[in-house]
Structure 1
Amino acid sequence: MELKRFLSLGLLLVGFIPMKLSAQQAQPLPTDPAVRVGKLDNGLTYFIRHNENPKDRADFFIAQKVGSILEEDSQSGLAHFLEHMAFNGTKNFPGKNLINYLETIGVRFGQNLNASTGFDKTEYTIMDVPTTRQGIIDSCLLILHDWSNNITLDGHEIDEERGVIQEEWRARRDANLRMFEAILAKAMPGNKYAERMPIGLMDVVLNFKHDELRNYYKKWYRPDLQGLVIVGDIDVDYVENKIKELFKDVPAPVNPAERIYTPVEDNDEPIVAIATDAEATTTQLSISFKSDPTPQEVRGSIFGLVEDYMKQVITTAVNERLSEITHKPNAPFLSAGAFFSNFMYITQTKDAFNFVATVREGEAEKAMNALVAEIESLRQFGITKGEYDRARTNVLKRYENQYNERDKRKNNAYANEYSTYFTDGGYIPGIEVEYQTVNAFAPQVPLEAFNQAIAQMIDPVKNAVVTLTGPSKAEAKIPSEADFLAAFKAARQQKVEAKKDEVSDQKLMEKAPKAGKIVSEKKDQKFGTTELTLSNGIKVYLKKTDFKSNEILMSALSPGGILSGKHAPNQSVMNSFMNVGGLGNFDAIQLDKVLTGRSASVSPSLSLLSEGLSGKTTVEDMETFFQLIYLQMTANRKDPEAFKATQEKLYNNLKNQEANPMAALMDSIRHTMYGDNPMMKPMKAADVEKVNYDQVMAFYNERFADAGDFMFFFIGNLDEAKMKPLIETYLASLPNLKRGDKMNKAQVPAARSGKIDCKFEKEMDTPSTTIFDVVSGNVEYTLKNSLLLEVFSAVMDQVYTATVREKEGGAYSVAAFGGLEQYPQPKALMQIYFPTDPARAEEMNAIVFAELEKLAKEGPNVEYFKKTIENLNKQHKESLRENRFWLEAMKASFFEGNDFITDYESVLNGLTPAELQKFAADLLKQQNRVVVMMAPVAKAQ
């Protein structure tokens, strides 16, 4: 393998890192001692780790080093088809018993139980499994065993699944996927990667002989290509012994087919690939520089860690530079970014340094010239000292944050890490080793090393691949590939300059405001909170938790919102433009630079009934966090140039939305449900052009001028003694105008009543009818009704999976979801969404409504009901260990007056099938039904 790239990020450093460190360069990084790694005689690899976050839960994965790239022409789509069949019968779990069993213990199909197929790997996951009984652990290991070697592949089940996969193909085949397929064929002509999209060819999927699938399974699902990952609250010794006992009967392959990783050729001349689509809404440019991946023997050593660290620093610095450009009006591109990945995001045998940009319609060449200029500036001059210092500080801060949270890392994070390590290689020494090692070598790697690496990775001639996608309409002015290639070559010859870095040396706040006082304090035993009343009327609620070591979340709310003003701008307008200018003395770009190395962010928002803030920080950045809150309330900066740049970006993003069938569907849903109410009107490109920035900022300042009726909620690893002086300085000092704002609840848009149908046709490339149904009715706004609606939707999900998906093959997924609205009057909405074959749309929707009526008349399937209660109980217990969950609960209780937490378990477990039947019947008899159906325009015969 060519070592040029390795030299750029590895041996290059020998000249910069002291010999004590470089002498260890070839040594593999140690494996984290907390994970048990082993291999059976048949070649099966396993990773086992005890972890109690969350307690009494575990994740079970099986990763396969196989995917669609290994299919023969006659098997296109069968790797993905096989993934589906793993849920349709195994030796020990025939039929749907695998799904049925897991759902009885609260593991829900599609939520905790899933699988995915890629080009080079396939992964099956059973997550958040209760480990309170040994039998559950044994059963999950047995499922992994069956997936490894005992999927039944019954002929009848195979035929039943063909329609499901065709509907998955239909649901996923949008403009982006079609253009991606076209780009692959041009970027890698003749390569198998361009011919093996995991979803496959429908002609093969609908017609292959059963033995084709069985042959693929027998050939490639084998222990030497499989890895088990079990992480959670389990006994590691027990699980290891059980794996050895269970999997010893899985035979090692005899004369196995060689697992070859498909090579991707270098290119001496730039490749330009252009694809357009009638449903595309934006023009996207990508410039990639291919390179060979680092060999695993190097990737797994300290050089792999050095490489990843350097890549993070480089992309952080480059993205800061590109972001700064896009914040200016008339920028050459609307947004831009840089990142490292597999080439085309899929190949195992070629990496890429990617630069991407969203382009104004008709300005592809202008954007390409500007992006190439930045690339050439990086290649020739590198990043600046200031960019490097800020990027290095921010990257080291990320390592520090991960290190500080090491004891709170969740099962899923470990499981994904080990699964990826098995399929892709790398290292798993644990964050302690990574953190200590990075901090040891980072100070010794100079800026010159990074800039030499950048120059190595951006070849001046070879391995450049340029792609452009966009609308097919003439107005988009998409150039020909020949013209774009010539323009790209010319752009690489342009004269460029080194970046000039501008940094302010001002502090975030030069002077603290005059502090107010905490005037009262009381405890709430029910929620475990401390309530502080401040001298300016603000209420502050503090809840200390140990869920994470270094996370603090904040939310603040005040009554008022959009509906408080007679001439308020549209809600979507306000939230798009009111926070683009930075804070205090700093524009948005300078503010990011000032905050280098600090984990603190605050964002404002305006809803119909309230204005508020949300934010996140760490223990050590608490004062910066409070300063940001104060500035967001008192010194939101007006920046006409930033507004204009945002306006241009949003206008171009919305300009072609009508070409996207899904945008037309969403518009129709809103209009059908809410009529012409301006508060529910989606923002259009024409609306963006009319936005009055002065009006936006005036309304923002008016809404946030009066802090006296705000409630602030803080949760996380809080130190109340340290927080109180900050609260007095930065919150109690905020102005109180004593306006006494109220929530204008009566003006909240209400969903329309009665039976309303909206059926329309839309031009589309892939014929599909998408259906959105709503059944609604008045109910009391109570915890019980909220839970009944949640149970109703979850039960219907299972019903539709069994009927529309499995029995009829009429949809890949039918999503049922309930929503309980409080204003203007309490109302329950059951919403159902699915795409289907246009020829079967009316038939499938008739089944959807028939099943609703059936539940209302006969009651729910008792097994579905029990599974749902079990799943909701499990979810609730998991949520009780999440800061975000408690933050929302605090807001609901103290700001809205709705306590949906205290009696949750008793109310949920007290529900009966008869109560659900009555709830559904009461809802349906109110005769409020909306059907929005978007079908393709009929083709002329």
Structure 2
Amino acid sequence: MNLKKLISRGVALVALLCSFGTVAYAQEIPTDQEVRVGKLDNGLTYIIRRNTEPKERAHFYIAQKVGSILEEDSQSGLAHFLEHMAFNGTKNFPGKNLINYLEKVGVRFGYNLNAYTGFDETVYTIMDAPTTRQGIVDSCLLILHDWSGCISLEEKEIDAERGVITEEWRGGRNAFSRMLEKVLPNIFPEGNLYGKRMPIGSMEVVNGFKYQELRDYYKKWYRPDLQGLIIVGDVDVNYVENKIKEIFKDIPAPGPDAAERVYTKVEDHQEPLIGIATDKESPMTLLMLNYKRDALSREDRASIKGILLEYFSYVVTYAMNERLEEIAHKPNAPFLGAGVEDGSLLGFAVTKDAFGFTAQVKEGGLKEAMNALVAEKNRLIKYGITQGEYDRAKTEFLKNLDNAVKGKANRKNASYAEEYKEYFLKGGMLLTPETKKMMFDQLAPNIPLAGLNQYVQQSLIAPYDNLSIMVLGPEKEGVEMPTKEATLAMYKEANAIAVEPIKETVSNVKLMETLPKPGKVTKVEKNISFGADKWTLSNGAVVYVKPTTLKENQILLSGRSKGGLLPYYEKELDNAKVFGSAIEVGGLAQFSATDLPKVLAGRSASVSTSVDYVGENVSGSSTKDDLETMFQLLYLNFTAKRTDKEAYQAFKERTISNLNSQKANPMSVLPDSISATIFNNDKRVAALSVENLEKANYDRIMAIYKERFSNAGDFTFALVGSFTEEEIKPFVEQYIASLPATKVREKAMSDKVPGTAAKGRINHFSKTVDTPLAVVVDLYAADGKISLENELKMDLLTAVLSQQYTKSIREEEGGTYGVSVNGSYSRYPVATKRLNIVFNTAPEKAEALNNKVKSELKEMAEKGIDSSYLEKSILNMEKNYHERLNENSYWLGLIWREIEYGEDFHTDYLKTLKSITPQGIQAYLKEILANGRYFEVVFKGVKEEGK
């Protein structure tokens, strides 16, 4: 295929799209030749690609064009239940052997091994499996084979999983899910299956279906003509293809009587469909307007028409989100926040697309929000987007394509696997980044703004037909939700309001008109930290530079100085609490927080600043092309942080409204209750309050910021990535060595940092909720020396405990969807190790399950741990270590650890990891339990009596 000829046809198609909105135009497009796509005689599709990022790793997916939409009413929840059963025994991996095998080669259940169920698909994933041995590749393919047609579905395993899924349902049964369940039947046409097929299903069905019903569903729908294998990674493509043909040949093709896979259509309608739902625990009101149209066919997705419409969609959503963001940042804004999305209706209806507006509404402000959203819809239809908006969106789109080309060598397995999954499920094109960039480098300049706006006005948003309106909000005294009739009247009134064209606030403006006078690198010390050179600058700042070839188009920046907010917490608590958010609302130099992204459109560079208890922090990143932009942003963050009182007032209004709304959610008190228990009611770690916001002084906050960033001489910076020292030195001298500085060198008040309470505490409390739920938090804190060995022991201990509690609390008891186990070390005020165990369950089970958690912990300390758990955890950590070696962020972290604390957590990592024994972990756990403080927080959400 001649690409130039194709592009010229694409330009002609643009004219047709702009003139007529849609047109049938399928044209072959050159595909990525590095992707192997095939189909077996039984109908099974496979997609294979060799990729070495990371080396010696691969992703193995099996995607099924099967989901909850295919259930009958009596089967509600079986698609999701079947997904769970895939991990509970198959033909070649009975019982828990599938999980055990993969964990023995370093693939951890719940992390690298997972699955999900949607309305129209079910996808199983084995991620970052080692490919160092051919046997591992063969075994992963055999697992996909078993998932395809050989899941055991044993009765005892089915019964054990009922409780697990009930607890998963319980954990996700929040106000939003309940309201969505109420409203979906109203915003889909009557009887449409999308309105009543939530994947989690009915717990009545989950806990009562007969074994054969699940087996029948499995046999009916899990079959090769609806399945696709995706294998991406460091593999031999020919070998994998031949192995697929060998392993999967015994899976039979569907017979002539096989059920037809019919995709559920979403019927058109003339009058708007309106759904309104309330919930006592809803913390906010949401307004959603969805303007629907038919989704593209698989044929259109695989044509130049599909790729052009993808571009149109990107441009319009970019422009509209820019507008809505700007409105939200004004005082007395008509909504707390708003945005648009263009794609599958509500994110899941694959046969219907929608251009959707969503707004978070102020209490009592529904009409105001409706007027604002409809006004922006009408403004778009009447006037289109502006030339400035189009130029920025187009520049950003083309920049993303350019970055994809430059970053191709570093593209991860996961990125390819997700792309190929979507291709299998929905269709589309498998293009190389180079092909797509070449197409749009020539197409984009030939797509005029007038033509794009004509398409938008005629085809993207119908003025009235196929509209659905959703209103979700709190059920509370003083807040009255409108009826459907009143909502429709409100919409019609809003639709009648005249609109004016938007006015541009930013044109082609430079980020910095005048550059600072450069300083100098005055001293160079070679190979000071993990291959990084140390540069001392003329203003006293220090910069560590480490060029790498790990990522072809990535540069990372970080900086730190001692000082922090602790002195201000002592005397200005409210300012210190609000500080982190307030400093970001104003923007930089002459650019507001909403104008700054416009100036940066098409540039891949960012810098952020923050201040914690003990220091000031800078973080940034860029591509090679935008390196100077990153340095300019750094300079402006030090010298020109912008004060914007109107933007601060808008931020204050939004935040106070959100804080007040959160009170409706009984769970909102839990984080603060945990902090109060562990940190002995220290106000510095308490959640942000309305009182903090009312008392905070914005001018003083900005003055504190300037104090904290007025002395670059007290800062140390580090740069890691794809640069040479010759390339980066001019920027360091221009933008860092030129920063204002003094001779002052601060010290951190590290002994004043909030620390774990000196004595353990127990805090049990309850709230009335709609869906009964208990949350159990166990925390053990003990003084402990920070060292490589100790941190590795903590990581291994938490991994071992996760496996133990998955077995006992999830699988044997069926008492929870999962037990979260985390461990960490804090350095201040004294070195402390913390072991944290958290799980959700039914309130009536909380005490017994927590007793079991604690008794098993004690038993492991006394009798030892399961050595197989430790062996699998060490393998997983070793695998992860080798993957981290290829990340710039890993080396940046090592440099900082050595700079600040003189610690080397790299050189002896593997030696130390492999030296840790079951006895060592046992002793480590025993020491935590013997010398630690125990904190227990149990929240019980219980039903109101009589309900």
- State TM-score, norm by structure 2: 0.96
CA distance in 2: counterparts of 1:16 and 1:480, whole angstroms = 42
Compare 200-209 and 455-464 and name the one that shifted more: 455-464
CA distance in 1: counterparts of 2:325 and 2:773, whole angstroms = 38
Who is 1:100 aligned against?
A: 100
CA distance in 1: counterparts of 2:79 and 2:470, whole angstroms = 28
SS at match of 2:350: coil
CA distance in 1: counterparts of 2:23 and 2:812, whole angstroms = 64
Q: Which amino acid aligns with 1:611?
A: E
Q: Is 1:63–1:123's contact at 8 Å kept on the other side of the alignment?
A: yes
CA distance in 2: counterparts of 1:367 and 1:686, whole angstroms = 27
Who is 1:812 aligned against?
A: 817
The one of 882, 890, 894 aligned to 2:895: 890
Residues 240-639 of structure 1 mapped to structure 2, 5 A cutoff: 240-254=241-255, 255-455=257-457, 456-524=459-527, 527-565=530-568, 566-567=571-572, 569=574, 571-639=576-644
Offset at residue 13 of structure 1 (A): 4.0
Q: Is 1:105–1:867's contact at 8 Å kept on the other side of the alignment?
A: yes
Offset at residue 739 of structure 1 (A): 2.1
Compare 278-287 and 222-231 and name the one that shifted more: 278-287
Offset at residue 552 of structure 1 (A): 1.2
CA distance in 2: counterparts of 1:289 and 1:26, whole angstroms = 26
Q: Which amino acid aligns with 1:218?
A: K
Who is 1:193 aligned against?
A: 194
- 1:151-182, Cα deviation, whole Å (9 max, x unpaired): 00001110111001001100111111112212
Q: Is 1:86–1:147's contact at 8 Å kept on the other side of the alignment?
A: yes
Compare 804-813 and 553-562 and name the one that shifted more: 553-562
Q: Is 1:43–1:252's contact at 8 Å kept on the other side of the alignment?
A: yes
- 1:389-423, Cα deviation, whole Å (9 max, x unpaired): 11111111111111111111111111111111101
Who is 1:3 aligned against?
A: none
CA distance in 2: counterparts of 1:89 and 1:265, whole angstroms = 41
When the two chains are superposed, the root-mean-square deviation of aligned CA atoms in Å is: 1.8
Q: Is 2:18–2:452's contact at 8 Å kept on the other side of the alignment?
A: no
Who is 2:26 aligned against?
A: 26
Offset at residue 889 of structure 1 (A): 2.2
Q: Which amino acid aligns with 1:554?
A: L
CA distance in 2: counterparts of 1:10 and 1:217, whole angstroms = 44
Who is 1:214 aligned against?
A: 215
Distance 1:791 1:227, change over 3 A: same
Offset at residue 23 of structure 1 (A): 13
Offset at residue 25 of structure 1 (A): 4.8
Offset at residue 571 of structure 1 (A): 4.7
Offset at residue 441 of structure 1 (A): 0.8
The one of 862, 866, 869 aligned to 1:857: 862
SS at match of 2:769: coil
The one of 713, 717, 736 aligned to 2:718: 713
Give unpaired runs (5+ residues) of structure 2. 1-8
Distance 1:258 1:887, change over 3 A: same
Q: Is 2:538–2:737's contact at 8 Å kept on the other side of the alignment?
A: yes
CA distance in 2: counterparts of 1:312 and 1:646, whole angstroms = 28
SS at match of 1:659: coil
Distance 1:16 1:597, change over 3 A: farther
- 1:178-200, Cα deviation, whole Å (9 max, x unpaired): 12212212111321111111111
CA distance in 2: counterparts of 1:810 and 1:656, whole angstroms = 32
Alignment pair present for 1:139 and 2:139: yes
SS at match of 1:330: coil
Q: Which amino acid aligns with 2:402?
A: E
Offset at residue 10 of structure 1 (A): 9.1
CA distance in 2: counterparts of 1:112 and 1:337, whole angstroms = 33
- 1:54-92, Cα deviation, whole Å (9 max, x unpaired): 000000000000001101122110100000000000000
Who is 1:54 aligned against?
A: 54
Who is 1:4 aligned against?
A: none
Compare 584-593 and 440-449 and name the one that shifted more: 584-593
Distance 1:526 1:11, change over 3 A: closer
Offset at residue 35 of structure 1 (A): 0.6
Offset at residue 678 of structure 1 (A): 2.1
- 1:822-859, Cα deviation, whole Å (9 max, x unpaired): 11111111001111011111010001101110111011
Who is 1:149 aligned against?
A: 149
Give unpaired runs (5+ residues) of structure 1. 1-8
Offset at residue 352 of structure 1 (A): 0.3
Who is 1:167 aligned against?
A: 167
Q: Is 1:283–1:358's contact at 8 Å kept on the other side of the alignment?
A: yes
- 1:523-569, Cα deviation, whole Å (9 max, x unpaired): 22651112111111111111222222211111111111111434365
SS at match of 1:554: strand
SS at match of 1:834: strand
Distance 1:684 1:56, change over 3 A: same
SS at match of 1:420: helix
CA distance in 2: counterparts of 1:234 and 1:674, whole angstroms = 50
CA distance in 1: counterparts of 2:118 and 2:577, whole angstroms = 37
Q: Which amino acid aligns with 1:261?
A: Y
Q: Is 1:314–1:450's contact at 8 Å kept on the other side of the alignment?
A: no
CA distance in 1: counterparts of 2:548 and 2:479, whole angstroms = 53
Q: Which amino acid aligns with 2:346?
A: M
Distance 1:571 1:810, change over 3 A: farther
- 1:305-327, Cα deviation, whole Å (9 max, x unpaired): 11111111111111111111112
CA distance in 2: counterparts of 1:117 and 1:136, whole angstroms = 26
Q: Is 2:26–2:302's contact at 8 Å kept on the other side of the alignment?
A: no
Compare 783-792 and 120-129 and name the one that shifted more: 783-792
Q: Which amino acid aligns with 1:104?
A: K
Compare 96-105 and 308-317 and name the one that shifted more: 308-317
- 1:192-239, Cα deviation, whole Å (9 max, x unpaired): 111111111000000100000000000000000000000100000100
CA distance in 2: counterparts of 1:684 and 1:167, whole angstroms = 32
SS at match of 1:708: helix
Offset at residue 16 of structure 1 (A): 6.7
Q: Is 1:758–1:931's contact at 8 Å kept on the other side of the alignment?
A: yes
Who is 2:4 aligned against?
A: none
Offset at residue 711 of structure 1 (A): 1.0
Q: Is 1:571–1:607's contact at 8 Å kept on the other side of the alignment?
A: no
Q: Which amino acid aligns with 1:228?
A: L
CA distance in 2: counterparts of 1:424 and 1:24, whole angstroms = 18
Q: Which amino acid aligns with 1:345?
A: G
CA distance in 2: counterparts of 1:352 and 1:242, whole angstroms = 42
Q: Which amino acid aligns with 1:105?
A: V
CA distance in 2: counterparts of 1:618 and 1:140, whole angstroms = 36
Q: Which amino acid aligns with 2:924?
A: F
Offset at residue 938 of structure 1 (A): 5.3
Q: Matched residues, percent identical?
A: 49
Residues 698-847 of structure 1 mapped to structure 2, 5 A cutoff: 698-847=703-852
Residues 871-882 of structure 1 mapped to structure 2, 5 A cutoff: 871-882=876-887
Who is 1:5 aligned against?
A: none
Alignment pair present for 1:45 and 2:50: no
Q: How many pairs align?
A: 931
SS at match of 2:526: strand
Compare 232-241 and 339-348 and name the one that shifted more: 339-348
Compare 413-422 and 558-567 and name the one that shifted more: 558-567
CA distance in 2: counterparts of 1:928 and 1:27, whole angstroms = 68
- 1:577-625, Cα deviation, whole Å (9 max, x unpaired): 0121111122222222222221111111111111111111111111121
CA distance in 1: counterparts of 2:62 and 2:576, whole angstroms = 46
Q: Is 1:68–1:118's contact at 8 Å kept on the other side of the alignment?
A: yes
Alignment pair present for 1:903 and 2:908: yes
Who is 1:659 aligned against?
A: 664
CA distance in 2: counterparts of 1:17 and 1:95, whole angstroms = 55
